[in-house]
Amino acid sequence: MEFIFELLFEILGEAVLQFIFEALAEVGLHVFSKPSERGPVRPWLAAVGYILLGAACGGLSLWLFPDYFVKSQMGRAASFVITPVLAGTGMALIGAWRRRRGEQVIRLDRFAYGYAFALAMAAVRFHFGQLG
């Protein structure tokens, strides 16, 4: 039973870390976003940009926290699957909250783009993170 709680807290730690980086990216993108004069960016190009930004944030997070929070191999695999879903859901909830308030919504405020960002970050942390 103790193992299950430990694993849940470790996965939650990874999810919180991803969500913090994603929220900071979202705030930064809102600050610097302005309506494009050349028209909207193609969705696939925006997705590639969010994937690259997520990978960069994964590298930055490893510089700050080189040890992977989840210690077991099975837990790391579970975290790799679960945390991007949680982070993407969190960003979708923020997007829904912004829409209700009438605020500008960017693509990162949608589940698919938030998930892509978080999956890229999780992949970098999964591959390069130390087991402590």
pLDDT of 42-87, one tens digit each? 888 889 999 999 999 999 999 998 888 888 888 888 889 999 999 9
Whole-prediction pTM: 0.83
**Distance in angstroms (rounded) separating the CA atoms of residues 64 and 39:** 37
Any domain includes 57? yes
Any domain includes 36? no
Least confident of 68-72, 103-107, 113-117: 68-72
Any domain includes 102? yes
Beta strands in the chain (DSSP E): none
Cβ atoms 107, 92 nearer than 8 A: no
Three-class SS of residue 39? Answer: coil
Structural domain for 98, as ranges: 9-31+41-128
Residue type, 126: F
Cβ atoms 34, 96 nearer than 8 A: no
What total number of domains does the chain contain? 1
Residue 61, judged by CB atoms within 10 A of its CB (0-12, 13-18, 19+), counts as buried
Any domain includes 110? yes
**Distance in angstroms (rounded) separating the CA atoms of residues 86 and 114:** 10
Q: Provide the pLDDT for residue 85.
A: 94
Any domain includes 3? no
Q: Provide the pLDDT for residue 73.
A: 83
Any domain includes 85? yes
Question: For residue 15, what are its two tokens?
Answer: 């999810």
Higher pLDDT, 41 or 109: 109
